[in-house]
Structure formats: structure tokens, C-alpha cells
Chains A and B, each alone.
Chain A
Amino acid sequence: ILNVEQSPQSLHVQEGDSTNFTCSFPSSNFYALHWYRWETAKSPEALFVMTLNGDEKKKGRISATLNTKEGYSYLYIKGSQPEDSATYLCAPLAPGYALNFGKGTSLLVTP
């Protein structure tokens, strides 16, 4: 089992605030890092899959960066909106291991 830590556990921001979360994982034997968005009563949806050190990916107001040497990834949300409220999961993938999810960061954006 890969040890995955996400912080903070939960976050409450006002509409328009920008925010970021952290995902930490073992830097050795790394293959890829997945980010998912999981809204209440729905299924997780893939946001990004990153593989290279220094990778940056963007989808609308959401972006992510990856540092494989030190074993962390940041997810940024610019100008948060109420519809961004969800749990954000990261999951590192290493050869020989299954995709292991962190416990997530629960984001609440209030108007």
C-alpha cells in the first residue's frame, strides 16, 4: 500500500477565493499521479493524470502541478465557485501497485 496524505482534510472558502490543496506520496518508484473530483451523491470524475516531474495541467479554473522528486502535487482552484464544492482526491500509481487514493480534501464554497 502506498502512503498518501492529503491536506487540509477540509476547507471552507467564500465564493471568489482562490485555494489550493496538497497531496504527498512516496517519491520512489513513481509512475503517475491522478486527481479526481467527487461531488456528493455522484461518482468520482478524473481531473488530471500527471507523470513527469514539473508537469502542470489546467482545466478551466483548476490547475495542478507535480514534483516527483520530493513527492508532492498541488491542486489550485482560482476564483472558487459554489459548484466547485466537492471532495478532491489524489491517487499515486507506482509499478506493481494498485491505484491508491488519499482520503481527500473536502471543499465547501459558500456564496
Chain B
Amino acid sequence: EAQVTQNPRYLITVTGKKLTVTCSQNMNHEYMSWYRQDPGLGLRQIYYSMNVEVTDKGDVPEGYKVSRKEKRNFPLILESPSPNQTSLYFCASSPNLGAGYTFGSGTRLTVV
């Protein structure tokens, strides 16, 4: 089944403890993105990648890192999480600029 898989689905962590949210797609898509969704603010892009080893900042990149060492994987790294990073996170992928994105199931992160 073609899909974008995110893990974990839910995570509660403490301030400052490094964490990684994984994202993997099995559709050989070139484009991958990370979004966060907060009430009243809609979906905001954190980082995106147009291909292996090519990443760029989105609208809200502060406090996040990403890597794209393989086409299928695009992990989101929070080196020192803070409570303002409590949010619902989505990973998404697309074959090209003219196609819609396929979204993962989301990761609900709480930083206390």
C-alpha cells in the first residue's frame, strides 16, 4: 500500500530531551515536507526537501533539524525541545511540483 509512515503517533517528552520523529514513504517521491498544525494558525511548513541531500527551510524552522540521506526517509529532529513545540506534526510527500501531497497520519507531540 502506498503510504507515508510517521512514528511515533503520540509522544510526551520533557524540555531539553532530544527526540526524532521518523517519516518514511514507499512511493519513490522526490518531494518531502514537514508541517506543524496549531489551533488558529493552520498548517505551517517547517522544512522541505526536493531530493536526497537537498533540504530547505519552510516558514517556521527554528528549533528543528532535518536530513535526507535516502529518498524514502525524512526525519524531523528536535535537538532541545521546548513547550512551544507542543503541536501536531505531519510529514508529507509528493512525486513532483504538479502533484498533490500524500500526508502521514500525524504525530502529536507534547513537551512539558
Give A contacts to B, CB under 8 Å. Answer: 1, 31-32, 34, 36, 43-49, 51, 89, 93, 98-104
Contact = CB atoms under 8 A, between A and B. Distances in A.
A103 B43 CA distance: 7
Contact of B45 (A34, A98, A102): A98
Given A43-B90, A98-B58, A99-B33, A36 B100 contact: yes
Interface stretch (B64-72, B74-82, B103-111): B103-111
A68 to B, nearest CB: 14
Main secondary structure of the interface of A (DSSP, over half): loop
Contacts of B56: 98
A102 B90 CA distance: 16
Contacts of A49: 98-100
A31 B110 CA distance: 36
B103 A89 contact: no
Given A98-B45, A98-B59, A100-B59, A46 B90 contact: no
A28 B75 CA distance: 33
Nearest to B57: A98
Interface in B37-57: 40-45, 48, 56
Nearest to A31: B97
Given A49-B100, A93-B97, A100 B106 contact: no
B59 A89 contact: no
A99 B42 contact: no
- Between B43, B90, B102, the greatest number of chain A beta carbons within 10 A of the residue's beta carbon is seen for B43
Contacts of A98: 33, 45, 48, 56, 58-59
Contact of B103 (A32, A43, A103): A43
A98 B40 CA distance: 20
Nearest to B58: A98
B104 A43 contact: yes
Contact of A34 (B100, B102, B106): B100
13 contacts: A32-B98, A36-B100, A36-B101, A43-B105, A47-B100, A98-B56, A99-B33, A99-B45, A99-B48, A99-B101, A100-B59, A101-B35, A103-B40
